[in-house]
Amino acid sequence: MNIEIANSYEELSLKAKNRIVQEIEKNKQLLLCTATGSSPTGMYQQLCIEFQENPELFNQLRIIKLDEWGGVEMDQPGTCEQYLQQNLLQPLQIPESRYIGFNSNPENPILECERIQEKLKTEGPIDLCILGIGLNGHLAFNEPANYLQPFCHVAKLSEMTLQHAMASKMNFKPGFGFTLGMADILHSKMILILIAGKEKREIVQKFLSKKVSSSVPASFLWIHPKVHCLITKDALEETA
């Protein structure tokens, strides 16, 4: 794992954007897996600025959504769908034909997971996967557990995850989550994990211990051959 420390969130966001642009320049049809939340927002904003200057760079880019809250309508504030539409898909003018994403409120959640898995099978593997790390060490909605699921699945969400700022915006709390599984993520050709903020200090210490355990799902990134980890300096500093 290549670990790079950024002095600020702005520096992290710019470095992450540059990495993505570099990979798109190598492969215009890149399949980019996109996380949501506060960590990648600045990077997406930087990509939108890049689009204004160089729109043709993105005219073949493909995007797959990493995860989604379940049991809520797609147009609910706080869904991953709304976040991605506002921060990435619409600004980069990504059409439906180049986007794969979980429906947050399907008639049959299990069939929805099978649909996304089949899409990933035909369109994948993921070329570049953007990840964050949860306060409890979760990766997407792969929560700490005795064992982890390899493929797309309906996830039982922890109480800590349900306290996420995105969920707090919703009129109805999600009853579950949809997520790519650990094998789906680890089959990515390259992974870029972004970690920012002093609230992540405790889980960062566990993550950097290099101890691979299902109690910290993000620790499985240590077995992947091509992971770039960008961490802000404040996420590393010891609590005074």
**Residue positions annotated with a catalytic role:** 67, 136, 138, 143
* Spatial distance between the Cα atoms of 143 and 164, rounded to a whole number of angstroms: 14
Contact 80, 36 (CB under 8 A): yes
DSSP codes, 147-202 = S--SSSEEEPPPHHHHTSHHHHT-SS--SEEEE--HHHHHTSSEEEEEE-SGGGHH
* Spatial distance between the Cα atoms of 23 and 37, rounded to a whole number of angstroms: 22
DSSP E strand boundaries for the chain: 2-6, 31-34, 62-65, 67-70, 99-100, 128-131, 153-155, 176-179, 190-195, 227-232
